[in-house]
């Protein structure tokens, strides 16, 4: 039975903790600490109450070689790593154990590999656990999935508890309505015992025959499971053993081991428990010789007996910390945070012991100085994945003293070591004062000091620096144009990127540091990706030419250089289509110049101009959009960002002229290359390998062929001109609106029947997709592109091809395209869930792999990269499409409007090889397809600019009918099911929820509802209506007539007119 304080002052705390579901053991332990606080306990341990510990058993001389190690004990042992810390003092916002420490290995990598190595060596199942906190649990468990033999253990995680903060003014529970999460704090690693007891893990381990526990910090890679120590611990039948090291002058301010005079019990005294008058004795390393490494050995059966005798907790001494309830706000409510230390349990176990261990078992990373040492050649990873001191160091680790002000955060160390890590294997002591950039070409021997008292970073020249050297870089040449300047900023609360990046009004991006914050957040997030080095490879930058494109590029370039990027590739005039960026990342070489990613400046089909929309998205090294894990990381940074880096003196780039230039630092140590390239060369060159350009050219040369391609004043113009006019011989008159404009000519560059009216009027197609009889002899083929050139609309003479039909027809004719034919044929097709099922029928007939995904090209990317990235089945070549006029293949990792146009021209060329035969039209091809496969009548209603509250109201209204709609009859249609689409990705096993509401009818018809955010222009409600028909006599209906009854049902069920005030859609496609 837990012993809970009955003092009325504690009652509000007990109630609050129970409402959070915390165990009675946690309540009792916190109650013990609280009563010490209100009881006036100082927590001090007077020098006159203790005696220094004279001697302890020594691992090296008294245990190793003396006691025979017993491997059978491993099956009775659990290794537990404390993993609750975020490393915020070093600038981290994730589990500190996920920091790369050696090569590409994080702390957790090496720890996991050590456990696996020991299991293999002794052929025994050594148990492994992590004590995570609510801050570290998700990231850690996701990371550990790579080690299936560990991650699949249901007992892997022990969750650290949380306890209330205490209002200093009245000792009551602290309240903070702005963020209730901040009313809680971690209780320190002394919570280990309470967490094990209260969660039932202690009993579970004991029931499995586990008797011994070895505990250490996750950032201490020297703390490995030592079989000699385990055997010693077991043979002595001790309840608790602390590993200690000999104190040195460098350790004198830290805690120490002592004997309590009253009962000769070993205890731990921390600096916070030492009165000022006792400081001299506290720091006397000849009297108090040993400090706690936080490597502990615990007998679990004796731990349980102790806790039950004390009322369900270990009565650890309380550590009192004074804070503010919001650590970011110094003027927020002052609070106490009560913590305990697990090592202090040594005073609670009668007969507890301690052992002196070598410094090699104590190698924690508390500062960047520690991290630099471990990353250098002074430490090696041995065959058992243990980080060990290099033999060349002769058993003594170098002392590293980096300037704490200049190297406080990991980001500072990363920026200072982009050229690699210096050689420290021959170094005794390295002192760095000021900001100095080091590299792998720096070799330190003996004791070396480097000084930079200037206000800017200085690069230490390559060379060997010998014992006794002091290098003063204060007056040395600086970085000049490559000098990064940190600029203070504050977070914006609306920078969560969607599936297509971050889109807002242009003026929002132009306001202050809005763009700067997002770009810096992206660079910061990229640094958390294992193996990512911003200095390796190139960054691609370009956009669709909308207003602010040119100025944003200059900002991004200057920030990229400040963040360590050494090569930037920019499209001429700042123009790069979205598919062209993907092509450049994937295709442009040589390898050492390959791109690691790109910033694409686009808001896709949204209007452009100073009063319209702007956007930015990041694409990764595979050429595809950033995955959700990365966009979430970016968003997390945007919420806490305090500064960005920019090279303010870096010259503006001449975007009009192609060519390369190298900008060098003032001291000659650094160089940055800027390549302004042809916007079209790489992409068009790739497409020439995908399609048979000779066959298409023959089609275009036919006297009875004509075409119009409306680029809508977006970025597609230069690509269409290069491919269709220069390469294929089409007359310039075939192109419409092909000069890019920053406002798209004042139009909405969205290729559909509403906004591409100029083209539709030429082609003889009305707003409903029906023929316009009054138009005489329109062109044979028509197409339109959106602002960033990834979308397409296909038209025939007085004939509209729905995006869903377009996808299905390309799939049915894939073998006429060399890209598919020469790879053994099309293998897989994928469509977004709202897209009609037309392509499903083709996939079934041709025995193709089929995937139905949520809307968003990134989901197709997983299918495309199933083998290369995910090491699964090879699903390529792949054809993908969305009903929102997006089509493409795995030649790039974005939808590709020009690709779709060339695919249709290839199909037309296939049917029209004989110039003497009657021309086979787009309409002929589509109607023939319907005859073979049936027709999916399909339409989309877009309600644009809907207030968010009203749009969400519609969706909630639909969700409220999930239980009642099934079985309901609406005329000839009866609802089969109503649900919200959830996607389990078969490639990476990720789950995407809330991907659209579906009302499915018994005859296979359906109505789908989705919300789509469109930057600052409000929300868009999209309603998708589909009916399948295979009766030959019913294949030529007008789409609106075929879907009239079903559309009315869709509006009745959703109640859109009443809930939004919109009587009709903005756009019908």
User: What CA–CA distance (Å, rounded) separates 884 from 1020?
Assistant: 13
Secondary structure element (H or E) that encloses residue 799, with its range:
strand 799-801
User: What CA–CA distance (Å, rounded) separates 417 from 372?
Assistant: 9
User: What CA–CA distance (Å, rounded) separates 539 from 962?
Assistant: 47
User: What CA–CA distance (Å, rounded) separates 483 from 248?
Assistant: 40
Coil, helix or strand at residue 936: strand
User: What CA–CA distance (Å, rounded) separates 528 from 378?
Assistant: 24
User: What CA–CA distance (Å, rounded) separates 476 from 397?
Assistant: 31
Largest pairwise CA distance in the chain: 112
Burial of 952 (0-12, 13-18, 19+ CB in 10 A): middle
Tell me which of 33, 133, 500, 604 is the catalytic residue: 604
User: What CA–CA distance (Å, rounded) separates 61 from 356?
Assistant: 10
Is the link from the previous residue into 574 a cis peptide, with omega within 30 of 0?
A: no
Q: Could you tell me which residues are beta bridge partners of residue 1001?
A: 975
Is the link from the previous residue into 877 a cis peptide, with omega within 30 of 0?
A: yes
1 neighbors 311 (Cβ within 8 angstroms)? yes
Nearest CA-CA partner of 359 in 215, 227, 247, 231: 247
User: What CA–CA distance (Å, rounded) separates 947 from 425?
Assistant: 63
683 neighbors 720 (Cβ within 8 angstroms)? no
Torsion of CA 275, 278, 281, 285, to 10 degrees: 20
CA atoms within 13 A on the CB side of 361: 25
Coil, helix or strand at residue 395: coil
883 neighbors 834 (Cβ within 8 angstroms)? yes
User: What CA–CA distance (Å, rounded) separates 627 from 563?
Assistant: 22
User: What CA–CA distance (Å, rounded) separates 783 from 730?
Assistant: 14
Please state the separation of Cα 578 from the chain's center in Å.
21
Residue 216: active-site member: no
Please state the separation of Cα 503 from the chain's center in Å.
19
Buried b (16+ CB within 10 A) or exposed e, 134-144: ebbbebbeebb
Buried b (16+ CB within 10 A) or exposed e, 908-940: bbbbbeeeeeeebbbbebbeebbeebbbbbbbb
Burial of 733 (0-12, 13-18, 19+ CB in 10 A): exposed
Secondary structure element (H or E) that encloses residue 120, with its range:
helix 107-122
User: What CA–CA distance (Å, rounded) separates 413 from 91?
Assistant: 11
Query: Any idea what the Cα angle at residue 420 is, between residues 414 and 421, rounded to 5°?
Result: 85
User: How many other CB atoms are there within 10 angstroms of residue 12's CB atom?
Assistant: 12
User: What CA–CA distance (Å, rounded) separates 248 from 552?
Assistant: 54
User: What CA–CA distance (Å, rounded) separates 690 from 687?
Assistant: 5
| Catalytic residue annotation | 604
């Amino acid at each position: 039975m837990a012993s809970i304080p009955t003092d009325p002052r504690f009652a509000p705390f007990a109630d609050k903790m129970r409402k959070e579901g915390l165990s009675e053991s946690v309540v009792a332990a916190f109650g013990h600490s609280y009563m010490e606080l209100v009881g006036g306990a100082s927590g001090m341990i007077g020098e006159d109450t203790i005696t220094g510990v004279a001697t302890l058993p020594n691992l090296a001389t008294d245990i190793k070689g003396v006691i025979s190690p017993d491997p059978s004990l491993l099956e009775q042992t659990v290794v537990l790593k404390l993993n609750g810390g975020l490393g915020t003092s070093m600038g981290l916002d994730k589990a500190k154990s996920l920091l790369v420490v050696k090569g590409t290995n994080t702390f957790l990598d090496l720890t996991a590999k050590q456990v696996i190595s020991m299991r293999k060596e002794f052929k025994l199942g050594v148990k492994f656990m992590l004590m995570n906190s609510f801050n570290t649990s998700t990231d850690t468990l996701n990371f550990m999935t790579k080690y299936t033999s560990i991650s699949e253990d249901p007992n892997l995680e022990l969750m650290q508890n949380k306890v209330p903060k205490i209002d200093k003014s009245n000792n009551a529970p602290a309240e903070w309505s702005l963020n209730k999460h901040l009313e809680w704090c971690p209780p320190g690693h002394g919570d280990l015992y309470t967490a094990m007891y209260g969660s039932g893990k202690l009993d579970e381990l004991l029931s499995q025959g586990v008797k011994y526990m070895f505990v250490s910090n996750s950032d201490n890679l020297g703390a490995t499971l030592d079989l000699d120590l385990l055997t010693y611990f077991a043979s002595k039948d001790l309840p608790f053993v602390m590993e200690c090291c000999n104190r040195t002058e460098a350790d004198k301010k830290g805690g120490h081991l002592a004997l309590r005079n009253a009962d000769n019990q070993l205890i731990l005294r921390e600096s916070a428990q030492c009165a000022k008058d006792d400081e001299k004795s506290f720091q006397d390393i000849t009297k108090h010789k040993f400090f706690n490494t936080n490597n502990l050995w615990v007998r679990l059966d004796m731990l349980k007996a102790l806790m039950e005798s004390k009322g369900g907790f270990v009565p650890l001494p309380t550590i009192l910390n004074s804070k503010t309830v919001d650590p970011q706000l110094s003027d927020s409510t002052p609070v106490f945070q009560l913590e305990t230390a697990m090592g202090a349990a040594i005073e609670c176990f009668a007969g507890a012991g301690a052992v002196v261990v070598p410094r090699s078992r104590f190698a924690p990373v508390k500062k960047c100085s520690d991290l630099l040492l471990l990353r250098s050649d002074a430490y090696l990873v041995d065959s058992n994945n243990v980080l060990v001191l290099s033999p060349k160091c002769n058993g003594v680790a170098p002392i590293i003293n980096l300037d704490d002000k200049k190297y406080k955060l990991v980001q500072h160390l990363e920026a200072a070591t982009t050229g690699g890590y210096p050689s420290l294997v021959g170094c005794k002591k390295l002192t760095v004062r000021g900001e100095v950039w080091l590299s792998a070409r720096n070799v330190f021997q003996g004791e070396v000091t480097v000084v930079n008292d200037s206000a800017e970073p200085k690069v230490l020249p390559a060379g060997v620096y010998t014992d006794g050297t002091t290098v003063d870089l204060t007056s040395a040449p600086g970085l000049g144009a490559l000098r990064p300047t940190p600029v203070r900023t504050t977070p914006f609360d609306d920078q969560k990127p969607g599936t297509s990046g971050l889109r807002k009004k242009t003026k929002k991006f132009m306001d202050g540091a809005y763009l700067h914050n997002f770009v810096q957040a992206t660079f910061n997030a990229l640094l958390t990706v294992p193996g990512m080095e911003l200095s390796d490879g190139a960054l691609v930058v370009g956009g669709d030419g909308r207003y602010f494109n040119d100025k944003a590029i200059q900002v991004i370039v200057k920030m990229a250089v400040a963040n360590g990027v050494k090569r930037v590739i920019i499209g001429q005039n700042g123009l790069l289509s979205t598919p062209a960026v993907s092509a450049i990342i994937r295709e442009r070489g040589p390898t050492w110049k390959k791109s690691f990613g790109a910033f694409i400046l686009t808001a896709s089909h949204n209007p452009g101009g100073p009063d319209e929309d702007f956007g930015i998205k990041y694409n990764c090294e595979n050429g595809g959009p950033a995955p959700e894990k990365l966009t979430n990381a970016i968003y997390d940074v945007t919420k806490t960002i305090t500064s960005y880096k920019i090279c303010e003196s870096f010259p503006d780039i001449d975007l009009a002229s192609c060519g390369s230039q190298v900008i060098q630092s003032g001291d000659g140590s650094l160089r940055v290359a800027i390549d302004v390239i042809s916007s079209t060369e790489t992409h068009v060159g790739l497409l020439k390998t995908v399609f048979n350009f000779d066959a298409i050219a023959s089609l275009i040369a036919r006297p009875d062929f004509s075409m119009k391609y409306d680029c809508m004043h977006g970025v597609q113009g230069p690509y269409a001109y290069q491919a269709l006019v220069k390469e294929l011989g089409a007359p310039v008159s075939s192109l419409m609106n092909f000069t890019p404009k920053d406002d798209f000519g004042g139009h909405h560059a969205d290729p559909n029947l509403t906004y591409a009216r100029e083209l539709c009027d030429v082609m003889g197609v009305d707003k409903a997709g029906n023929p316009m009889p009054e138009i005489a002899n329109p062109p044979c083929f028509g197409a339109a592109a959106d602002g960033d050139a990834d979308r397409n609309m296909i038209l025939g003479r007085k004939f509209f091809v729905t995006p869903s039909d377009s996808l299905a027809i390309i799939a049915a004719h894939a073998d006429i395209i060399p890209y598919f034919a020469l790879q053994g044929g099309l293998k897989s097709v994928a469509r977004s869930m709202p897209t009609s099922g037309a392509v499903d029928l083709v996939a079934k007939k041709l025995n193709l792999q089929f995937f139905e995904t949520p809307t968003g090209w990134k989901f197709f990317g997983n299918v495309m990269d199933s083998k290369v990235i995910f090491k699964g089945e090879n699903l390529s070549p792949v054809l993908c499409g969305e009903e929102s006029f997006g089509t493409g293949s795995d030649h790039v990792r974005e939808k590709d409007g020009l690709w779709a146009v060339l695919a249709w021209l290839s199909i037309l060329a296939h049917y029209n090889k004989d110039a003497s035969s009657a021309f086979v039209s787009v309409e002929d091809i589509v109607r023939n397809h319907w005859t073979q496969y049936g027709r999916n009548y399909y339409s989309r209603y877009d309600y644009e600019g809907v207030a968010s509250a009203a749009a969400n109201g519609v969706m909630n209204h639909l969700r409220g009918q999930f239980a009642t709609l099934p079985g309901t009859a609406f005329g000839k249609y009866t609802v089969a099911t109503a649900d919200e689409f959830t996607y389990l990705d078969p490639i990476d096993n990720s789950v995407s929820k809330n991907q659209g509401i579906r009302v499915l009818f018994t005859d296979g018809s359906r109505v789908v509802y989705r919300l789509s955010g469109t930057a600052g222009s409000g929300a868009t409600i999209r309603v998708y209506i589909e009916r399948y028909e295979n009766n030959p006599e019913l294949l030529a209906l007008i789409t609106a007539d075929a879907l009239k009854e079903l559309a009315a049902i869709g509006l009745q069920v959703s109640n859109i007119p009443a809930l939004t005030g919109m009587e009709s859609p903005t756009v019908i496609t």
